[in-house]
Structures are given as structure tokens and as C-alpha cells.
Amino acid sequence: MVPAFILGQANPDFSILTDKAFQKLYQNPEECISYSQSLLMSDKNIEHKVILRNIISQAYALQGNYIQSVSISNQKEDNDKKEGLSSFIQLFDDYNLADQYQNLGLYGQSKKIITDILKDPELLKSRNTKERMVFAKLFQLQAINSGITRNYDIALLNLDKSDGCLTGTNDENRIIKWENIIFRSSFLLRQNKLEESKILLDGVIEEIEKHGNNAFVSAFAYESLSRYFFLKEDYTSAVKNLDKGFSEIEKLPYNDLKIIFYDLYSRNYLALNNDEKYYYYNNLYTDLKAKLDSNKKEGIQYVVKLLETYHKKSIEFERQNKLRQFKITVVMSLILIAAAVAYFFNESGRSKDLKKQIDFFEKLKKKKESVLAHANMPKEKIEKEIKTPDRDPSKISKEKEEEILLKLEEWELSDNYLNKNMSLAILSAQTGINTKYLSEVINNNKGKNFNGYINELRINHIAHLLKTDAAYLNYKVSYLAEYSGFSSHGAFTNVFKSITGMSPHTYIQEIIKNKKS
């Protein structure tokens, strides 16, 4: 989740007030909400109200209160007439919707909205300072969406474009630039460019500390630096940097960031064989994750209802607003999955034999070769390579099936299947494909039902990590189970053995034996 930022206004009084609200967003979200709400109550300007609601919405999102975030962001006054709003506010509203989807983990929907906005070359030529700031935020959001699908080169390119839109010297411009540097370093880490990443982090931390009183972004930077030391297997230094970052937000309600710290603490203490602290932080992580996941799912349901209501009230204005026509499709797609959001997956065990071990390792090898082969392949060529088996012509068309398979292939790169609450409905929300089509395509092309499909992705993922990252060989099976998204140690072991033909313990021992030989 990335906080949205305040856009500069022509009115100096409003600019000063919102600049103060913007600073509070990074200092204490509760103070930001209180201060911004007082401004919202006294300001009668519609455009000002839209911007103030966005500040408050972001403060709630930073707290992990996604329901309130969606609610305040979508509040409308009786005189909020679409035909009376400036093109800037229409652009800002679209950006806000893309940001809301990203906060809720609906990265595919967020990416689609931003792509539709930024494909207008005339719009991008604007030299309007306010609109340029929106573009900077849109490119940053799109960089995050690309990072989720591991398309790091595109992510870095979007960060370059975001930086290119930042021309001011105020706090807003400065902090967006800091965040872009931190995101850039994160993408470099994932490309194994560790030292290049560390140089960026050391520099930005020095800049942040020089200006002071930016608790959130300071913690964000130290959290990223801890990942560098984790990858270097210097777990003591990783913990020290986590301590520095967490001290900035420990007494502040930045729950959306705290959960990341709890997860990193538990991983490092597990690697250090400190069971007491591992269990302490793992329990904090598990409890907070359950709370935030529940709130996020309710937020998804809530945004569907809000957008449906909004669509019914404003349909007569949609004909006059080409920039926003894509929202109709988004709304209708989400309505189809609203009733199914509450379903959860159940793991099932299968028979196992020696042949599965051979087949499993062969599949891993082919998967790795496929990923490498597709890494730089044009999208059109990938689409041509997708083959579908013979099927009943009365069902889904070949073209639609190939489109869904391509979306599934992109989604598999996001690691969203590790979410313990993953369901067919959530997959539908994340890909924009209705549940009926998803179920049919998975059954026809993956050779298994939805649960089997998700479980195989999870096992393949953890098996790959065990082979490529030595740190995971030291983890307890219970942690591997939880990390992979399984509800219990037993369920993980059963599924692992059914897919690989061996237990997790045996698999780990085989890897260790091969490394020694």
C-alpha cells in the first residue's frame, strides 16, 4: 500500500492547510484524520473536499482500516455534480479509484485503470502542475503493480517516468522521490543487484534523517535495508535495522506497515534459531494479518456496493465522460463476484508414489525453463503459444479461454496464491474474470479443480525456495506451512507429499545431501 499525496492548489491558503495535512499523514495517521476532517467540515469547495477525503482515506488505509478508507473516499455531497467538476478532479477521481483497488490487493484492476488513463498521449502532454503530480502518483502505482508480477524492468521504467513528473521542491515532491528511491532499491534487490540497492538505501536514509519527523517513510526505508542484510544472510544486522525502523512507528497506528515488520522479525529470528522471539513475532504477525485480511475482504465487498450505487445514480453522465467509461465494465465485473467473496479453499490429500518425485522435479525444471523463455517474449507471441484442449463448443470460446489462460499466467507471478484466505472469488476479483469461467478454464486446462491448482502453485513455490535459498532449509516445517498459505502443518505435509512424492522433511534432507556431495 502506498499513501496518496496532496496535490498543489492555486489557492495559497488551501495549499498551506493541505500541506500540513500531508505532513501529518507521515507523522501520525490519527492526527491527520482529525485535522483533515476539521478542514473538510469547514471547506465548501467541491474540489477541495475531494482532495481532503483522499488524505483521510489514505490515513485510514495506513491504519489497515480499509472499510473506512473506501467509505470516506467515496462519499459525495448532494451538489457533487459530475458535469460541474474540472477535468483535473475527474483525473484525480480515477487515480483515487486505482489507488483504492491497489490498497485492497486488486492489482489487476488497478493496473487496468491506470493503463486506460495513461494511454491518452494528449493528456500526458499536460504541463499543468496539479495534473503532473497526479501522473507522478499514477506511474508510481503502476511501478508497484509491475513489481507484483515481477516485471521489474517495466517497474523501474515507471519509476523513471514518475520522477520525471516531479518538478516542485515542497514536501510532497520530496517524499514521493524518497519513496521512488526505496521502491527502486526493492526491485533491484529482487533482481539480486544487492550492492546497487544498498547504495540507494544508504543515500535516501541519510536524506530522510536530515529532514526529520517522517516516521512512516523512515520506517519504510529501514525495513527495505533489513531485507538487504537478510539476503546477505547477516540476520543480526537485519534485526538491527528492523529495530531502527520499528522504533519510528512502534507507538503509531501504522498497522499496514507493522505487519511487514512482524513478518520480517519472525523470519530473521527463525534463521537465528531464537525460538522465543520467533514465536512472539509470528503470533503478532498472525493476529494482525487475520484482522487486516478480514477488514480487506469487507472492504472489497463494500467498494462493490458503493460503485454499484454510484453507477446507478450517475449513468446519465457517463455518456459525456469518455475517460471514465471503463468504470462501467469494472463495476459490472465486480458485481458478478460479490456474492462469492466469502468462500475459502479446502486442502485435499492424494495418493503418492515414487514416480511423483521424478515427475515433480521434471515439472520444476520445465517451469524454470518456461519462465526464462517467456521473460522477454512479446505478449502476442505468448498468446499464440497458449494451447487449449478439445472441448464442448457450446461452452467458453477458444479466444476467451486463451485470454483467461494468459491472465492466469500473469497472476501466477504475483505470489497471491500464498494468501491463506485465497478463494475462487478472490482470484476472480484479482483477475477480473468471473468465477464460472475461471472454474471451467482451470478444470479444463490445469487438470485439477481450484483447490488443487492453488495447492500445486504453493508447493512448487516453497519447493523452489528450498532449492534456491539456503535460509529456508533452516526453517521449521510449521513455518513453511504457514508461509505457503496452508491452514495447518498436517495439511501442508499431506499436500506436499501428494505432489512431490515425499514429505517436506525428506525433501529438505535430499537437498542438504545433494549440496554436500
3-state secondary structure 109-154: HHHHHHHHHHCCHHHHCCCCHHHHHHHHHHHHHHHHHHHHCCCHHH
Instruction: Round to whole Å and give the CA distance between 152 and 166.
Output: 21
pLDDT of 6 reads 40
The grid cell for 474 is 533452516
DSSP string, 379-439: HHHHHHH-------TTSS-HHHHHHHHHHHHHHGGGTGGG-TT--HHHHHHHHT--HHHHH
Cα separations in angstroms, 137 against 19, 72, 133, 409:
16, 20, 6, 27
- Fill in the amino acid letter for 478: S
Question: Quick count: other Cβ atoms within 10 Å of Cβ 397?
Answer: 11
Q: How far is CA 201 from CA 1, 186, 419, in A?
A: 19, 9, 29
Q: Answer for the pair 46, 30: CB distance below 8 angstroms, yes or no.
A: no
Grid cell digits, residue 434:
468471473
212-229 as b/e, with b when 16 or more CB fall inside 10 Å?
Answer: eebbbbbbbbbbbbbbbb
Residues of the chain with pLDDT under 70: 1-12, 76-85, 303-395, 516-517
CA angle 474, 481, 66 (to 5 degrees): 115
CA 193 to chain centre: 22
Alpha carbon 281 to chain centroid distance?
22
Nearest to 213 by CA among 162, 160, 255, 249: 249
From residue 76, give the alpha-carbon distance in Å to each of 46, 80, 122, 296: 9, 6, 29, 22
Cα–Cα distance for residue pair 121/125, rounded to 1 Å: 7
Spatial separation of the C-alpha atoms in residues 243 and 245, rounded to whole Å: 5
pLDDT at 247: 95
Question: What cell does 332 get?
Answer: 459490472
Residue 182, pLDDT score? 96
* Angle, in degrees to the nearest 10, between helices 435-445 and 398-411: 90
Rg of the chain on CA atoms, in Å: 24
- Report how far residue 125's alpha carbon sits from residue 123's, in angstroms, rounded to the nearest whole number: 5
Give tens-digit pLDDT for 113-166: 899 888 888 888 888 888 888 899 999 999 999 998 889 999 999 999 999 998
Closest by CA position to 345, among listed 425, 416, 288: 425
Count of alpha carbons within 13 angstroms of residue 320, beta-carbon side = 11
Give residue 257's pLDDT: 93
Q: Report pLDDT for 474.
A: 82
User: What distance in Å separates the CA atoms of residue 275 and residue 280, rounded to the nearest whole number?
Assistant: 8
- Residue 240's nearest CA partner among 252, 228, 257, 258 is 228
Q: What is the pLDDT of residue 389?
A: 46
Question: How far is residue 1 from each of residues 99, 106, 264, 322, measured CA to CA in Å?
Answer: 8, 11, 17, 28
For 374-385, b/e burial (b = at least 16 CB within 10 A) is: eeeeeeeeeeee
